[in-house]
């Protein structure tokens, strides 16, 4: 835990800096509207009172950190988790399609990578298409996937998960192609001297050698999956999920709700990346990795 303590001070000082800046901008951005209100009400508050008011608006342009914190706390801990306003409930809805899409994406990514590494034709034909697939803006593709799938009767979890899959298979493919090609020439020569078959070389050398690459790419993929799930909730008028909360907040100018949904999304993302990281470390240790 030495590294944790080493990081604590720098990370918290950056956080403190961000919070201070946030307050400064909250005052600056909310000031014009507050001035409008005061003029209409014929009030001339002092500087301190004025600043206090800019930080307590019900629908501020930029909510202050404490407003977001209070909203987040109420919607996370003070509501029953079955309530549609509960952030836990909404986070779970998004999380479930994220995990499903991530699982699909990882599996698809690995399968494509195995194909690319072993079949020269696939290496030449597939890779350009895979790269092209990621240059298409997901915001343009997402509604089409949702609409087309809804037309054939598939709604709910699967369409959102497919968007997650679409975003998450790519980093896994790229990482696994690199990982499966990572064994040293000497190790490949060694297998050659044993007259090992292609499948023996694959399972005993290429697969174990690719494991660190897999976990690195899965960290990127799980974050991409979450983005995919949230984007998938936007165009459908989904009733639940982090994306739905963001959209509803935008409709009704509930800026505090938007920000606290954003915080919830970030926390889910951080937890997912951490979970993959911990899983990676456990596997590394089980494979005889040198403790760092």
Partner 1 sequence: MTGISPAVVAASKLGLTFQTNDGPVQALSNVDLTIGKGEFVSFIGPSGCGKTTLLRVIADLEKPTSGTISVNGMTAEQAREKRAYGYVFQAAALFPWRTIERNVALPLEIMGLSNAEQAERIKRTLDLVNLSGFEKKYPWQLSGGMQQRASIARALAFDADLLLMDEPFGALDEIVRDHLNEQLLQLWARTNKTICFVTHSIPEAVYLSTRIVVMSPRPGRVSDIIESTLPKERPLDIRETPEFLAIAARVRDGLRAGHSYDD
Residue 40 or residue 290: which is nearer to partner 1 going by CB?
290
Single out the segment in contact with partner 1 by CB under 8 A; choices: 14-22, 174-182, 236-244, 284-292: 284-292
Instruction: Give me the helix-helix angle, 65-77 and 255-286, nearest 10°.
Output: 70
Under the binding rule (CB under 8 A), the answer on residue 199 touching partner 1 is no
Does 204 participate in binding partner 1 (rule CB under 8 A)?
A: yes
Between the CA of residue 235 and those of 13, 140, 153, 244, 247, what are the distances in Å?
38, 10, 17, 9, 9
- 290 lines the binding site for partner 1 (CB under 8 A): yes
Q: Which of 6, 43, 123, 184 binds partner 1 (CB under 8 A)?
A: 184
Judged by CB under 8 A, which of 85, 139, 192, 270 binds partner 1? Answer: 192
Residue 176 exposed, middle or buried by CB count within 10 Å (0-12, 13-18, 19+): buried
Q: Does 182 bind partner 1 (CB under 8 A)?
A: no
CA atoms of 184 and 192, how far apart (whole Å): 13
The only residue of 68, 162, 167, 205 in contact with partner 1, by rule CB under 8 A: 205
Task: Assess 73 for contact with partner 1 (CB under 8 A).
Answer: no
Judged by CB, which is closer to partner 1: 167, or 218? 218
Within 10 angstroms of residue 227's Cβ, the number of other Cβ atoms is 18
Give the residue among 109, 102, 76 at the shortest CA–CA distance from 273: 102
Q: Which of 73, 194, 271, 274 binds partner 1 (CB under 8 A)?
A: 194
CB of 200 to partner 1, least distance (A): 5
List Cβ neighbours of 244 (8 Å cut-off, separation of 6 or more). 90, 93, 233, 237, 238
Asked whether position 3 contacts partner 1 by CB under 8 A, the answer is no
Nearer to partner 1, 42 or 193 (CB): 193
The whole-angstrom separation of Cα 258 and Cα 238 is 15
What are 152's two structure tokens? 């054939």
By the rule CB under 8 A, 187 interacts with partner 1 = yes
């Amino acid at each position: 835990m030495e590294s944790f303590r080493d990081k604590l001070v720098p990370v918290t000082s950056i956080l403190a800096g961000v919070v201070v800046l946030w307050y400064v901008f909250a005052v600056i951005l909310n000031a014009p509207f507050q001035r409008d209100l005061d003029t209409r009400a014929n009030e001339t508050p002092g500087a301190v009172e004025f600043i206090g008011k800019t930080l307590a608006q019900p629908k501020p342009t930029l909510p202050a950190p404490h407003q977001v914190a209070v909203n987040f706390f109420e919607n996370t801990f003070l509501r029953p988790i079955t309530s549609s306003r509960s952030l836990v409930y909404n986070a779970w809805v998004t999380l479930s399609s994220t995990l499903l899409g991530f699982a699909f994406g990882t599996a698809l990514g690995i399968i494509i990578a195995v194909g690319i590494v072993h079949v020269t034709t696939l290496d030449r034909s597939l890779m350009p298409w895979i790269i092209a697939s990621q240059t298409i803006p997901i915001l343009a593709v997402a509604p089409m996937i949702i609409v087309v799938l809804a037309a054939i009767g598939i709604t709910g979890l699967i369409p959102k998960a497919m968007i997650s899959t679409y975003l998450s298979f790519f980093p896994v493919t790229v990482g696994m192609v690199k990982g499966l090609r990572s064994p040293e020439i000497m190790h490949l020569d060694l297998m050659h001297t044993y007259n090992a078959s292609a499948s023996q070389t694959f399972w005993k050398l290429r697969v174990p050698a690719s494991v660190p690459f897999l976990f690195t790419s899965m960290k990127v993929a799980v974050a991409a999956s979450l983005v995919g799930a949230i984007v998938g909730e936007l165009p459908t008028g989904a009733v639940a999920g982090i994306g739905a909360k963001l959209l509803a907040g935008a409709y009704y100018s509930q800026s505090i709700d938007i920000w606290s949904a954003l915080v919830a999304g970030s926390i889910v993302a951080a937890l997912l990346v951490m979970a993959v990281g911990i899983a990676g470390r456990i596997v590394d240790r089980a494979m005889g990795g040198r403790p760092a």
